[in-house]
Chains A and B, each alone.
Chain A
């Protein structure tokens, strides 16, 4: 694994730990499966995920 790849994985882990999944993956998913839907900008995507994180049972332990 190259250093760049390790860094990318670390960033992905850090973001996921904060409840923000990979934006690129979501965009690819939308393009392939839901071409009719509007692709959100990163800012829109981020805001949506921010709200989603604190619904339901939450994601943290005592």
Chain B
């Protein structure tokens, strides 16, 4: 078995790495040990950069050479199957950019904001070490495995390496995850737009803007993506600016003023229509706009943090690590590790890392930069989101993210409750913040997006001052997230439809045909009904929805990550490299422990869905109504919703256990075998292929 020898590091190199290690350790020490006075966010940025560089240089290289044994002289799928379209050997920087654009989504912007209720330290440590030892390992190893297997998908590799049944089980897990992702992301939009005419108006404007762009790209100037995206951007900014006028004019504002339930219905209807329209009309143009806006906004956030260099106002560790926090329930272990999924370890990435990216890598030697490096970049985005949230006034943070059931619906009541927690805030401060961002209230805006938007708006306002600019930046950030999430909802519904048709095809072959019009409509309806159910449930939830649905999403996402890492462990053993099995094995085991513990706590015990259902059942038997239910029908609905959530969590637990069983079985079998049993594609030397013929 050949291993590519790593070039020895020069003396100067060693000195530089040693200095970097000291800087990283010093920054971490400042972050972890500073008590009493607030620290500057730059310490976090510096610690992150140092740790990521060291992780990339040493652990990434270790995985590249020892565990995956990447071989730059071996022809990758892009060369062997070059078709000029999907399989094309591509410049590594281009592949890196494409990969990052595909993996970075709304997830790393939401989870860390929610986790900030425990203080910034737990989240920071989990992001930094979780990504170096878990998330980046997963992305890199799945990419490495896929490159060795003709760029096969995760599902295909699971079927091959763990058996056909494991593949089917994973398929159901993936579908369930998809539905929860779509529901929870749509709920983030609902939370951000509830009774916000300005936000709703500018988000609504994206529909005609996208349609216009679609027509322009299709008929007027085919394929001019950059040009049309610039036009779209100008129109979007104009719609944000005009939104201020809409919000200030009562007659116009009332047209765009909706409660959570109506917004949920609007999103469900919109999602359905959008996903059956031709892609070029609405989905594709909005996708272009959101892709560019996403990268642009991430850069903007980085610039804002570096230039504004904010102080962290949230304590390093808050009292809510004991599990009594208002944003999400549950103790630090395991719920921190569930709440921050994307940014630290994200199971969804295993789909991307075994999708388009392995078809583009022109050389196995570039997999570390794209797979490991790409994930480190995403972790950096998560750190920035955490900074934006933790540099906000904690009183404002908790007012925005706590459910009405805990802090009430008036600023006076909220300020009293939050001040009692030790985060002193006056009603006046909350009113002023709402006024600054051009909204009527900041209460009940859970879901990460609005908090991030306020944080970002204040940071940007620090470096670009101007009258009314906080409100503009706030609505820009809301629009950016909404645009991005709507694209995910639309594209995700299409993907969900294919998944449903594939599963239906297992039962009845003809249902698989994606060209069948009736099959399409049927599968789309099922798909929208599934995520729509959870979205609506979130909109009527007594705890505001995010509090309930985000743990479900976290459990599902980490479950997928655990499955991907278990696959990597199995393959490592099958390749007879069992001495390195701990590399994917330890994070896999950690995620299994976290998902199972969180899962059990959500099924049985004081913070479980079952307990919530029981509380309402008891109240119903006593003949009393519990908020927010206004009648017995609504009481019954809350009970049913909690029962559904408990069942779903139980299914996730069962899924993890099943996959764990399959993995252990495969590992034992592989250990007994005398030769490697992994299904790698045969090696073809890159040099044996005449250059130019590819």
13 A-B interface contacts by CB (under 8 A) = A13-B93, A18-B288, A21-B88, A22-B88, A25-B84, A26-B84, A46-B222, A50-B280, A56-B355, A56-B498, A60-B352, A62-B105, A62-B106
Residues of B within 8 A of A29 (CB): 82-84
Q: Which of A30, A42, A46, A54 contacts B491 (CB 8 A)?
A: A54
Interface residue range, chain A:
35 or more
Q: Quick check: B97 and A58 within 8 Å, CB to CB?
A: no
Main secondary structure of the interface of A (DSSP, over half): helix
B488 at interface, CB cutoff 8 A: yes
Whether, in the assembled complex, B279 has its beta carbon less than 8 Å from a beta carbon of chain A, the answer is yes
B residues in contact (CB < 8 Å) with A: 82-86, 88, 90-91, 93-94, 97-98, 101-107, 153, 181, 185, 217-218, 222-223, 225-226, 279-280, 283-284, 287-288, 291-292, 295, 342, 346, 348-349, 351-352, 355-356, 360, 487-488, 491-492, 494-495, 498, 514, 553, 557, 693
B222 in contact with A14 (CB, 8 Å):
no
Query: How far apart are the CA atoms of A18 and B283 in the complex, in Å?
Result: 11
Measured in the bound complex, the distance between the Cα atoms of B514 and A21 in whole Å is: 24
Contacts of A28 in B (CB 8 A): 84
Given the interface pairs A13-B94, A50-B284, the reply to whether A60 lies near B491 with Cβ below 8 Å is yes
B222 and A18 contact, CB distance less than 8 A: no
| Bound Cα distance from A53 to B356, whole angstroms | 10
- Establish whether residues A17 and B226, one from each chain, have CB atoms under 8 Å apart when the complex forms: no
Dominant secondary structure of chain B at its interface with chain A: helix
Contacts of A43 in B (CB 8 A): 222-223
Contact with B along A35-62 (1 / 0, CB 8 A): 0000000110111011111111111111
Which of chain B's residues has its CB closest to A61's CB?
Answer: B105
A20 contacts which chain B residues (CB < 8 A)?
Answer: 223, 225
A29 to B279: give the CA distance in the assembly, Å. Answer: 27
Q: Is the CB of B283 within 8 A of A54?
A: yes
Q: Which residues of A contact B (CB under 8 A)?
A: 9, 11-18, 20-22, 25-26, 28-30, 32-33, 42-43, 45-47, 49-62
Residues of chain B within 8 A (CB-CB) of A52 are 85
B576 CB to nearest A CB, Å: 31
A62 touches B107 (CB 8 A): yes
A62 and B225 contacting across the interface, CB-CB below 8 Å: no
In Å, the complex CA distance between A17 and B653 comes to 35
Complex A-B, nearest 4 residue pairs according to Cβ-Cβ distance, in ascending order = A29-B84, A43-B222, A46-B223, A13-B97
Task: Give the CA-CA distance A15 to B86 in the complex, in Å.
Answer: 13
Which of the residues B94, B287, B355 comes within 8 Å of A12, measured between beta carbons? B94
